[in-house]
């Protein structure tokens, strides 16, 4: 088996397992895994910027929120059907990433982190400020009638699971293709040594901007899908915490691995789910996980596996 | 009330914000200037200061002034000890690598927030002011305590400046900031300096919170605003520049007071956060600083 076949076989097997979940999983877990797949799509986008290109952003909630509100407000106030609204949300995420990137990519490292954090905070406050449209913290509940995609009711369990799966599968395949393409190699080169890539003739600013826009498209898609699949569009989903969570999932699963975001989001989701049985301190789980990860496992689950055993893992 | 006195009131409220903000921001700025650590958990040190002040006010009997005086001393020490512990257990082991320390302090933020929620609860609780008198101006009466807050903050800032500029401890801190390796070669215990600076930064945030808590109630989520505002102040003032930090705190505090009074508080925050992002993009050394982030 050639390397390429092996890689595609692994990822298609993961997708097949998730697809099988649509019939095998009980209703409760089906809702959970649907949510995890949408959030993992968001994390995959984050990983393209952070894991592969080395852009540690603390403001991705802005792109997620752009997708969420881009789709949600159009459905709610303009009466747009779910399909076009989803598309609008994706584009809103990409456009927001382009706008932020044009400015923020003039900075590096810690300054980049703070600039993205500030832009995201300004976006969050803007949502709160325009309460008349967004209903602020309370949020908008999208009616069931507005959540129809190609004649399927997205508020029902099975269509919702399949829609989340379709989104995740598309994201995974595009990402796998992207990071193994020459463009992906340049992104990794930028992460490892920006000066050397510049010397080899690549334009770091343009390449990083492109990576950030792709990342924003993913975040926008996930945000729009979240609103449409789960019927809720609220300001808390665009708060700083939603910038931190994809970072946590990516770190846990393994930064710069294609499947890492799924592994991270899935394990974190179920860690909080199980721990909530005996403690309400879910924030503590998040905090302790972050500290332990940077201290003892900076490469995350799949990063460690790749380092020890499976060197071919993309 | 006509426009003139209204503006005066807005400016006086802005002065109180500035005074507290300057203390918190100087703490953040010291930690960044000397350790090159961006401490995202700084706002939670502020919150812990306020929450622990409430506990002290419950435990210490007698008039509110006694409890408040005890809180002024105990709370910064308590928070400083937590900060020093966090530095020794976590940050030191990360070798102060910038991105790893930010992720770790984000983790610390959630841990402290959850601890406050578990032990203190979700309610906002007031702490009685040590004294109550009103200064009667021709147009309106003003709380004497708020004026005392401004004065106390000015005194503490003066003390911090003397500590840094005139004392032996300050000399050691500045030597460590200038060149950590050379300082080590001259026998300075850099680990202890770092733990001390992190404790001092946390302690200043806690002190600011104890001063503000009779005006604004203690709540487990109260750390977010001071964190963002401190970031804004430190970045606009220039990282690691004490003078710039104080000037920027005045600028931000006063404009926040005026914009919040005449427009909406949320709008004031949107303007301030966008401003700081643009300052970082176009003038990364801040308005008064010399070094870029």
Is the per-residue pLDDT at A49 higher than 90?
yes
Query: Among partner residues B93, B98, B284, which is closest to A295 by beta-carbon distance?
Result: B93
If residue A116 lies in a helix (H) or strand (E), which one and from where to where?
helix A109-129
- Neighbour tally for B50: CB within 10 Å: 31
Counting residues of chain A whose pLDDT is more than 70, the rounded percentage is 98
Chain B residues whose beta carbon lies within 8 Å of the beta carbon of residue A125: 266, 269-270, 273
Instruction: Region of A86 please: left (phi>0), alpha (psi -120 to 50) or beta.
Output: alpha
Tokens of A88: 């609008």
DSSP H helices, B61-167, are 64-86, 98-120, 144-166
CB contact residues (below 8 A), chain B span 36-75, against chain A: 38
Residue spans of the domains in chain B: they are: 16-222
Would you call A107 and B280 a contact, using CB atoms and an 8 Å cutoff? Answer: yes
Q: With cut-offs at 50, 70 and 90, classify the pLDDT of residue B4.
A: confident
Query: Among partner residues B90, B98, B111, which is closest to A284 by beta-carbon distance?
Result: B111
| Burial zone of B132 (CB within 10 Å; 0-12 exposed, 13-18 middle, 19+ buried) | exposed
- What pLDDT score was predicted for residue A270? 87
In-domain check, residue A79: yes
Rounded Cα gap, residues B20 and B40, in angstroms: 18
| Contact criterion met (CB below 8 Å) for B42 and B27 | yes
Determine the residue of chain B that is closest to A248 in CA distance: B103
* Residue whose C-alpha is closest to residue A237's, from A75, A82, A117, A68: A68
Helix axes of B42-59 and B190-212: crossing angle, nearest 10 degrees: 60
In-domain check, residue A55: yes
Rounded Cα gap, residues B229 and B212, in angstroms: 15
The beta-strand segments (E) located in chain A are 140-141, 148-149, 152-153, 232-233
Is the per-residue pLDDT at B292 higher than 60?
no
Residues 6+ apart with CB under 8 A from B61: B67
> Using one digit for the tens of pLDDT, what is the confidence trace for B257-289?
888 777 777 887 888 788 878 888 887 776 666
Counting residues of chain A whose pLDDT is more than 90, the rounded percentage is 45
| Contact criterion met (CB below 8 Å) for B93 and B204 | no
Would you call B277 and A113 a contact, using CB atoms and an 8 Å cutoff? Answer: no
| Average pLDDT rounded to a whole number, residues A276-290 | 77
In-domain check, residue A287: no
Query: Among partner residues B110, B228, B284, which is closest to A287 by beta-carbon distance?
Result: B110
> Using one digit for the tens of pLDDT, what is the confidence trace for A50-80?
999 999 999 999 999 999 999 999 988 887 8
In-domain check, residue A254: no
- Neighbour tally for A252: CB within 10 Å: 27
Chain A residues whose beta carbon lies within 8 Å of the beta carbon of residue B106: 244, 247, 287, 290
Is the per-residue pLDDT at A127 higher than 70?
yes
Is the per-residue pLDDT at B1 higher than 80?
no
Query: Among partner residues A103, A111, A113, which is closest to B284 by beta-carbon distance?
Result: A111
CA angle (A250 as vertex; A249, A251 as ends), nearest 5: 95
Q: B287 or A191, which is more confident?
A: A191
Query: Among partner residues A114, A240, A294, which is closest to B235 by beta-carbon distance?
Result: A114
| Burial zone of A135 (CB within 10 Å; 0-12 exposed, 13-18 middle, 19+ buried) | middle
- What pLDDT score was predicted for residue B288? 63
Rounded Cα gap, residues A91 and A66, in angstroms: 9
Q: Residue B204 CA to chain centroid, in angstroms?
A: 6
Backbone torsions φ then ψ of A141, nearest 5 degrees: -100, 120
The model's pTM is: 0.83
Strand bridging mode B134-136 / B141-143:
antiparallel
Tokens of A170: 């598309």
User: Token match 């257990």: residue?
Assistant: B89
- What pLDDT score was predicted for residue A279? 67
Rounded Cα gap, residues A241 and A209, in angstroms: 24
Tokens of A75: 């459905």
- What pLDDT score was predicted for residue B287? 64
Would you call A291 and B264 a contact, using CB atoms and an 8 Å cutoff? Answer: no
Chain B residues whose beta carbon lies within 8 Å of the beta carbon of residue A113: 38, 99, 102
Tokens of A39: 């959030």
Rounded Cα gap, residues B222 and B42, in angstroms: 12
In-domain check, residue A312: no
In-domain check, residue A153: yes
Question: Mean pLDDT, chain B, as a whole number?
Answer: 87
- What pLDDT score was predicted for residue B286? 67
Question: Would you give the end-to-end CA distance of chain B in angstroms?
Answer: 45
Is the per-residue pLDDT at A179 higher than 60?
yes
- Dmax (CA) for chain A in angstroms is 59
Would you call A126 and B270 a contact, using CB atoms and an 8 Å cutoff? Answer: yes
Is residue B94 less than 8 Å (CB to CB) from chain A? yes
Would you call A118 and B264 a contact, using CB atoms and an 8 Å cutoff? Answer: no
Would you call A283 and B113 a contact, using CB atoms and an 8 Å cutoff? Answer: yes
Would you call A281 and B264 a contact, using CB atoms and an 8 Å cutoff? Answer: no
Which residues of A lie inside 8 Å of B (Cβ-Cβ)?
Answer: 56, 58, 103-104, 106-107, 109-111, 113-115, 117-119, 121-122, 125-126, 128-129, 240, 244, 247, 251, 281-284, 286-291, 293-295, 298
3-state secondary structure of A219: helix
Chain B residues whose beta carbon lies within 8 Å of the beta carbon of residue A119: 273-274, 277
Give the CA distances from residue B164 to residues A134, B58, B79, in Å, rounded to whole numbers and listed in that order: 48, 35, 21
- What pLDDT score was predicted for residue A212? 96
The beta-strand segments (E) located in chain B are 134-136, 141-143
In-domain check, residue A10: no
| Contact criterion met (CB below 8 Å) for B185 and B26 | no
| Contact criterion met (CB below 8 Å) for B78 and B180 | no
Counting residues of chain B whose pLDDT is more than 90, the rounded percentage is 33
Rounded Cα gap, residues A313 and A305, in angstroms: 9
Counting the structural domains of chain A, the total is 1
Strand bridging mode A152-153 / A140-141:
unpaired
Is residue B123 less than 8 Å (CB to CB) from chain A? no
Would you call A283 and B274 a contact, using CB atoms and an 8 Å cutoff? Answer: no
Tokens of A143: 């009616």
Rounded Cα gap, residues B292 and B286, in angstroms: 8
Would you call B114 and A283 a contact, using CB atoms and an 8 Å cutoff? Answer: yes
| Contact criterion met (CB below 8 Å) for A22 and A162 | yes
Cα R_g (chain A), whole angstroms: 19
| Average pLDDT rounded to a whole number, residues B104-125 | 89
User: Token match 């019939």: residue?
Assistant: A23
- Neighbour tally for A310: CB within 10 Å: 12
Q: A285 or A218, which is more confident?
A: A218
Mutate which of B89, B94, B103, B112 to test chain A, going by most A C-beta atoms within 10 A?
B103
Q: With cut-offs at 50, 70 and 90, classify the pLDDT of residue A209.
A: very high
Residues in chain B: 293
In-domain check, residue A263: no
Is the per-residue pLDDT at A88 higher than 90?
yes
Chain A residues whose beta carbon lies within 8 Å of the beta carbon of residue B265: none
The alpha carbon of residue A48 is apart from the nearest alpha carbon of chain B, in Å, by: 17
Would you call B38 and A110 a contact, using CB atoms and an 8 Å cutoff? Answer: yes
Would you call B107 and A290 a contact, using CB atoms and an 8 Å cutoff? Answer: yes
- What pLDDT score was predicted for residue A123? 93
Q: Residue A145 CA to chain centroid, in angstroms?
A: 27
- Neighbour tally for B112: CB within 10 Å: 25
Tokens of B31: 């930690």
- Neighbour tally for A171: CB within 10 Å: 25
ipTM of the complex: 0.78
- What pLDDT score was predicted for residue B291? 57
| Average pLDDT rounded to a whole number, residues B76-103 | 90
């Amino acid at each position: 088996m050639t390397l390429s076949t092996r890689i595609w076989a692994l990822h298609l097997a993961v997708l097949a397992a998730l697809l099988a979940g649509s019939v095998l999983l009980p209703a409760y877990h089906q809702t959970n895994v649907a949510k995890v797949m949408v959030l993992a799509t968001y994390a995959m986008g984050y990983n393209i910027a952070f894991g592969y290109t080395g852009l540690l952003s603390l403001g991705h909630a802005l792109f997620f929120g752009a997708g969420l509100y881009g789709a949600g407000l159009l459905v709610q106030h303009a009466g747009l059907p779910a399909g076009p609204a989803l598309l609008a949300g994706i584009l809103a995420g990409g456009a927001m990433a382009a706008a932020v990137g044009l400015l923020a990519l003039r900075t590096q490292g810690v300054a980049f982190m703070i600039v993205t954090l500030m832009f995201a905070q300004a976006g969050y406050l803007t949502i709160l400020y325009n309460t008349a449209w967004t209903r602020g913290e309370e949020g908008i509940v999208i009616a069931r009638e507005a959540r129809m995609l190609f004649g399927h009711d997205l508020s029902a369990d099975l269509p919702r699971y399949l829609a989340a799966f379709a989104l995740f599968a598309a994201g995974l395949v595009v990402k796998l293709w992207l990071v193994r393409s020459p463009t992906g190699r340049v992104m990794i080169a930028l992460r490892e040594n920006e000066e050397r890539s510049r010397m080899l003739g690549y334009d770091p600013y343009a390449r990083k901007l492109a990576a950030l826009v792709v990342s924003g498209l993913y975040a926008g898609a996930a945000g729009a899908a979240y609103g449409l699949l789960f019927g809720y569009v609220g300001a808390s989903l665009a708060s700083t915490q939603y910038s931190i969570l994809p970072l946590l999932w990516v770190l846990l699963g393994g930064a710069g691995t294609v499947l890492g975001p799924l592994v991270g989001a899935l394990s974190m989701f179920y860690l909080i789910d199980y721990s909530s049985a005996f403690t309400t301190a879910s924030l503590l789980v998040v905090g302790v996980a972050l500290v332990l990860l940077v201290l003892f496992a900076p490469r995350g689950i799949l990063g460690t596996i790749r380092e020890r055993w499976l060197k071919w893992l993309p | 009330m006509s426009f003139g006195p209204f503006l005066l009131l807005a400016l006086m409220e802005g002065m109180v914000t500035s005074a507290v903000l300057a203390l918190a921001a100087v703490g953040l700025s010291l930690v960044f200037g000397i350790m090159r650590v961006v401490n995202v958990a700084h706002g939670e040190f502020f919150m812990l200061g306020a929450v622990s002040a409430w506990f002290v006010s419950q435990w210490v009997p007698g008039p509110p002034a006694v409890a408040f005086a005890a809180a002024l001393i105990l709370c910064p020490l308590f928070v400083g000890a937590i900060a020093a512990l966090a530095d020794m257990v976590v940050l030191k082991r990360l070798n102060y690598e910038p991105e790893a320390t930010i992720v770790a302090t984000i983790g610390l933020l959630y841990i402290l927030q959850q601890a406050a929620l578990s032990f203190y609860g979700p309610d906002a609780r007031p702490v009685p002011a040590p004294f109550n008198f009103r200064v009667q101006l021709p147009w309106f009466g003003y709380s004497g305590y708020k004026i005392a807050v401004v004065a106390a903050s000015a005194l503490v800032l003066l003390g911090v400046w003397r500590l840094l500029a005139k004392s032996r401890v300050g000399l050691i801190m500045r030597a460590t900031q200038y060149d950590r390796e050379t300082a080590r070669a001259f026998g300075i215990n850099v680990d202890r300096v770092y733990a001390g600076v992190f404790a001092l930064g946390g302690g200043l945030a806690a002190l600011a919170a104890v001063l503000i808590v009779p005006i604004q109630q203690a709540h487990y989520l109260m750390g977010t605003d001071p964190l963002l505002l401190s970031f804004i102040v430190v970045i606009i003032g220039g990282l690691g520049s004490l003078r710039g930090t104080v000037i920027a705190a005045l600028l931000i505090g006063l404009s926040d007071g005026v914009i919040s009074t005449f427009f909406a508080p949320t709008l004031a925050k949107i303007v301030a956060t966008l401003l700081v992002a643009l300052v970082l993009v176009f003038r990364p050394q801040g308005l008064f600083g010399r070094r870029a982030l």
